[in-house]
Amino acid sequence: MLRIDDLVVRYGSAVAVDGVSFEVGAGEMVALVGPNGAGKSTLINAISGLVPPHSGTVACEGRIAQVPEGRQMFADMSVEDNLLLGGWSIRNRDLGEVYDLLPDLAGMRKRKAGRLSGGQQQMVAVGRALMARPDLLAIDELSLGLAPLVVAELAEHLRFLNRERGTAVLLVEQEVTLAFDVCPRALVLEAGRIIAAGPSVELAQSETVRKAYFGDLAVAEMMTGPTAQATTEVST
Amino acid sequence: MTELVAYLISGIALGSSFALIGSGIVVVHRVTRVVNFAQGSVAIVGGMASATLLDGRLPHGLGEIAAVLLSGVLGLVIGLLAIGRRGTPPLISLIVTLGASMLVSAAIIWLWGQDPVTPPGLRGSVTILGAEVERQRLLVVVATGVAFAALALFFSRSYLGKGLTASASNPFAARMVGIDVRKMGLLAFGLAGILGGLAGVLIAPSNPLSFYSDLPLVLGGFAAAVFGGLTSPLRTLLGGLCLGVAGQLTAGYLNGSYQTEMALLLMLVIMIIRSRALVQEEVK
Amino acid sequence: MDRVNPRYVLVVVAAVAGCVAPFVMGDLTFLMRMLLAAIVVTGLSLLMGYAGQASLGQGAFVAVGAVTVAVATTRWGVPPLLALVAAPLVAGAFAALVGVPLLRLRGHYLAFGTLALLLMVQTAMSTFDFLGGAFGISGIPPFGVGGTVFADQRPYVLLALGLLALVLFVTHRIVDSRFGRGIRALAGSETAAESAGVPVVRAKLVIFALSAMYAGLAGGLSAFFTPYVSPDSFPALESFTYVIMAVVGGLGTLWGGVVGAVLVSTLLQLLNLVSSQPQLPPTLGPILQYATYGGLLILALLFMRRGLVPAVEGAVTRAVSRRGGAGRT
């Protein structure tokens, strides 16, 4: 249902996405993994139409809604208002469906979104995207800055949505283990190109992925200082 | 005692008009981060247009409404100039609205001349606690109350109002859910035009307006809006009332010519005391 | 030998034109006002372009300079030269004083704060009889040094020209200094400037005071020229005009202030001539004036954000390099 064909995105002279092609079938869950700066966020923003492509095409039969990196709450507005605004593009003001799918949201609907915990905000962001009745959920960094238990719960919600609503999911994730666990199929992006694609189980064993990732990790481990710093940044 | 009541009531009336102008500044700034310097000029056009329309062309009520709507259109045009071009920084937009206010001044002199104009308003006065108060001034207070209540309801209850608030709160997320942030900015300018026009229509019967009034009006409005950090309509209302009452008390007990300076001094003091917080709001 | 830099040719042409004009023009009031505006706007352009701060009330410091001269000469009998030297010093000191609280404001708040300052200076002038009261101060003696006294307009214009040259020279030296390169970062990002070791607060205050000194100097000279100072001599519209001139000429450029002042003044003078034709309605003058101000400001900001001087300079540089490149190959 989503078909990307030779997509190129540039910022000035820098090429962020360099000739990417892939498809996501209806109701499919696909992970998009890759190291920092590989162009994952740019790719997802181009798919959502927030960043104009330089060349190539994004074709989608159905609606796409994005769960953005950093959750991007309307912080001084209530959870309910955040959800309502999610339906802006199709003038959907019916909250019932989302409250059925994510019952936790009903309990906090009067609270200000900015006062919620990271995990709760992520839930609101997913709910807000669902208000657009999407056929594809494009999720940018589900786990970023969240505790593992919270992430596991969110992942369970995603599987449930996929099962119940048949919503396709494109999950951009730095946390490879999580991404491979949630999505049966995965793409590996590096320096703006897809360097590997296939079933997650196979990719997890593959040498290329090990290099792209565990190579990255090895480098990170060598520079323990910055890594430690990065970790503290995430947890705050 | 009677004197004090009279000063308080006329202060509240004056403060209401500051607050109305200020509310227009707040509405635009919330959504676009731009301060609309032409807000005073829009009010003058509102007042003068109502004078022309009520002069045998339209009955009371209709004439005022038409003048207010006309001001809304003017506000929208100013918005197109100020934020129509993508990537105009807010401070540049402020100077563009300064230019717009000069163009409006030219239009005012062309259409209505240089002398002050005053439309007919409510006649007569009533006695409150022994003090005589013009009916028109009471109307200003009541209409301001209604306008602020409507504004609060619009922002908190209506879908469109929520879209405006969302654009102000997080422009990226607003764009993501499909809100056209620029269109919302223009809408805010139009709404501010309506509020400014309302202010002008209400003020003009008791304070004749000329093209010269733009500076005192926009300064009074900005001073009120500063109390609300340029974002809160409610605190702008309170700020306007404080300024109005302080001004009238100064005028009554000290010297009539210092009421504007009193307002400016208060504004400067508030701005400087709260400078740290204000800068943060600006950055956010 | 290298070609002569076209910029120097322009400077020489401008200087010659400036020196010849006082001898061929009849009424020099217009020329004098233009030169005074150029002095003020050079400072404002420095403030807006380098420190990134908009002042809508630069007239406040012009007023302080003018009042300094008026009070010093008429009340205390201070010699004119001393009074003229005091004008920028008093204005600068005043700016340094009010700048401490005022410069805590930024952006919109500072713009409105400076406008409020202007209105309060006006009120102070009309309130205190010592500063002139409602009627202002008249009877300011003509400028003169020792035995020579300025008898007509021409020497004033020549003095203004000399002072403008001095102001441009000082500005040039400051901009090219280490301090100047430091403050250039201010207009971009204060946080970045701060982390690069620029003392942000002090640097802004210095530029603010310097621009006030220029304004005070122009105000002092205008007090001798007019020779009358009242609160109405410094309307807010005049301060807005300075902003228009600065924006039209190009913020943060040495010559932007001069070019802006010359262009805007000339345009207004021409419109004045047109609209003062006897058969036209008397309101045409103000209509044209306001429309020109507003139109110029909006057009310049929307279509020539950096101003005329950088735009023309860019075009000339491109043209010259193209021709120069073709010549060499």
C109 is a domain residue: yes
Closest among C213, C224, C212 to C160, alpha carbons compared: C224
- Give the mean pLDDT of B231-245: 91
* CA pair distance A190, A195, nearest whole angstrom: 6
Closest among A188, A178, A160 to A32, alpha carbons compared: A188
Query: How far apart are the CA of A136 and the nearest CA of chain B, in angstroms?
Result: 14
Cβ separation B106–C294 shorter than 8 A: yes
Neighbours, chain C (3 or more CB pairs < 8 A) = B
C286 is a domain residue: yes
For residue B256, what is the DSSP state?
Answer: G
pLDDT of residue A221: 44
- Cβ–Cβ contact B231 with C under 8 A: no
* CA pair distance A46, A31, nearest whole angstrom: 16
Q: Which of C102, C108, C128, C189 has the highest number of chain B CBs within 10 A, making it the mutation to test binding with B?
A: C108
DSSP output for C124-141: HHHH-GGGTGGG-EE-PP
C225 is a domain residue: yes
- Cβ–Cβ contact C236 with B under 8 A: yes
C329 is a domain residue: no
Q: Using a CB-CB distance cutoff of 8 angstroms, which residues of chain A are in contact with residue B163?
A: 85, 88
C1 is a domain residue: no
pLDDT tens-digit profile of B28-84? 998 988 999 999 999 999 999 999 998 888 888 888 999 999 999 999 999 999 888
Q: Which of C190, C234, C243, C290 has the highest number of chain B CBs within 10 A, making it the mutation to test binding with B?
A: C290
- CATH label of the domain that carries residue C210: 1.10.3470
- Give the mean pLDDT of A112-141: 92
pLDDT band with cut points at 50, 70 and 90 for residue C208: very high
Top mean pLDDT of B88-97, C17-26, C242-251 is at C242-251
Nearest chain B residue to A133 by CA distance is: B177
Neighbours, chain A (3 or more CB pairs < 8 A) = B
Query: How far apart are the CA of B161 and the nearest CA of chain A, in angstroms?
Result: 11
C327 is a domain residue: no
C227 is a domain residue: yes
* CA pair distance C164, C145, nearest whole angstrom: 19
Cβ separation B272–C305 shorter than 8 A: no
Whole-model pTM? Answer: 0.85
Cβ separation A72–B179 shorter than 8 A: no
State the residue range of the domain holding C255: 6-322
pLDDT tens-digit profile of C276-327? 777 888 888 888 889 988 898 888 888 877 777 777 777 777 776 766 554 4
pLDDT band with cut points at 50, 70 and 90 for residue B119: confident
Domain regions of chain B by residue span: 2-283
User: Based on the structure, what is the number of domains in chain C?
Assistant: 1
pLDDT tens-digit profile of C138-195? 888 888 887 777 877 788 888 898 999 999 999 888 888 877 777 776 666 667 767 6
Name the average pLDDT for chain C: 83
Q: List the structure tokens of C236.
A: 């807010």
Calculate the alpha carbon distances from B28 to A119, A132, B79, B97 in Å: 34, 28, 9, 12
Query: How far apart are the CA of A83 and the nearest CA of chain B, in angstroms?
Result: 10
Topology at the third CATH level for domain B2-283: ABC transporter involved in vitamin B12 uptake, BtuC (1.10.3470)
Q: Which of B176, B180, B231, B234 has the highest number of chain A CBs within 10 A, making it the mutation to test binding with A?
A: B176
